[in-house]
Structures are given as C-alpha cells and as structure tokens.
Amino acid sequence: MKILSLVIIGLGLSAGAWAETSQPELNGASFANSSVKTQKIKIDKKNPYEMIEKVARLTFDRFANEHNAIRANPNLLKIIVREELMPYINYKYSAYKVIGKNFKKTNEKDRAEFVKVFREYLITSYAQVFTLYNKQLVEFEPAKQIKPKTKILAVNTRVIEPGRKDINISFKVRKNKKTKEWKAFDMVAEGVSLLDSKQAELGSLIRQKGLPYVSELLKEKSQRNIVF
C-alpha cells in the first residue's frame, strides 16, 4: 500500500505540469535556461492553492524540457526536486511528525541530523517516483476563502487518465505563524497519507533502535541512484 501511495502521488504531481497551458514551452532549453525561466515566475507562498498548482507545473515543465538529459543521467531528477520542489516542502515539520511520540527520547543534535537526512531521503524518494511521469492531466480545486485562524488545510486535486478511474489527491499545507507563508507537509492519495505511512514504518524503528540508527538507514537510502 505504501508503494502504491508513492506511485499515485508521483502521478498526481506530474500531472500538474499539464493542467495549465498558458506557460510557453522551453523547447530544447538547457538546465541553466530552465532555471532562469523558473526564477522569473513568482510563486505566492501566502496563497496555498496557487502555490501548489504553480510548483507542480514548474517542476514538471523542467522535467519535460530536460527529458533527454535525464534519460542519460537519471540522477538529474534529484537536482530538479531539490531546486524546484523542496523550497515549498516543510520537511522539518514532516520529520518531527515522523519522530512523533519518540520526541522526548531524542536530543537536539540527533533531531537536527535526522531532519537533514530526512530531507535528502524525500528528494531521492520523489525523484524516483517522478520517473513515472507520463503527462497525466490534473484538475485543481478552485481557490477558497481561507479563515484568518486556519493553520492547516488541504488542497484537493483530481488526476484524470483516459481508461482509468480518477484518482483523488490532497496536498496538506501548513501556515507559518510568523511569515504567514504556506508549505506542504503531507500528501494523501485516495485516503492514504504518505506521512502516516512513514510514521508507521519508522516510528517503531526509532523507538527500538534510536534516532541515529534510523538517520543512518535513511542516509543510505537517499544515496541510491535513480533508475527508470
């Protein structure tokens, strides 16, 4: 189920690149040119609906434009994820949620190392899933009025692929109290939470073998090469 969830999430994100057609294609652009194009497009972190849609589109526009280079060196996907996606992911909050009930049994140094490693683990995990990119279409729900006191909300999407049942995916985002900016911290595909699955998978290991052990385990996984 956890592997299936990752696959579904990967398909849902990839579809975002094709949900909006107003963005001109960067035919034959290099990674450098793609980066310049991305930098020129402002993403409003204070509007979670706009943020999710634009980040998805930009990430996979770059993936599509660098298709040949990525096929030659799949690890370039890690660069795309690190530069285009991770600035909008609250990986520290997600990492702390994974630690969960074990938090008081850990120390600040070990937690800091775990957050750093968890970030790299997410980059590798997403990069591997994005090899499934196949130009699926996604519909984003219209932006809604957000109450001032709202701290967490879900941005709902629907992945549409001919001949298959639509897939419902929610991107859970959290607002920073100080900056008022939103970042994603979890994705729920057909009711399956990626964060919950990681809590279940790693929580018992943290409890039994300690946070440093799990950090080393994730560090090893994050260093794996991306393969098609």
- CA dist 23 and 17 (Å) reads 9
Note the pLDDT tens digit of each residue in 156-180: 988 888 888 888 889 999 999 999 9
Q: CA dihedral defined by 109, 110, 114, 116, rounded to 10 degrees?
A: 20
**Using CA atoms, how far apart are residues 213 and 228, in angstroms rounded to an integer?**
29
Phi and psi torsions of 197, nearest 5°: -65, -35
Supply the CATH classification number for the domain 2-19+27-222: 3.10.450.710
In angstroms, the CA 168 to CA 157 distance is 6
Which positions ≥6 away from 119 have C-beta within 8 Å? 86, 91, 95
Phi and psi, residue 103, nearest 5°: -55, -45
- Residue ranges of domains in the chain: 2-19+27-222
pTM over 0.85: no
Q: Could you tell me if 175 and 182 are in contact, meaning their C-beta atoms sit under 8 angstroms apart?
A: yes
Contact 70, 77 (CB under 8 A): yes
Instruction: Give residue-wise pLDDT tens across range 21-80.
Output: 233 232 233 333 344 344 457 899 999 999 999 998 888 789 888 989 999 999 999 999
Averaged confidence pLDDT in the chain? 83
Nearest alpha carbon to residue 20 among 165, 157, 126, 170:
157
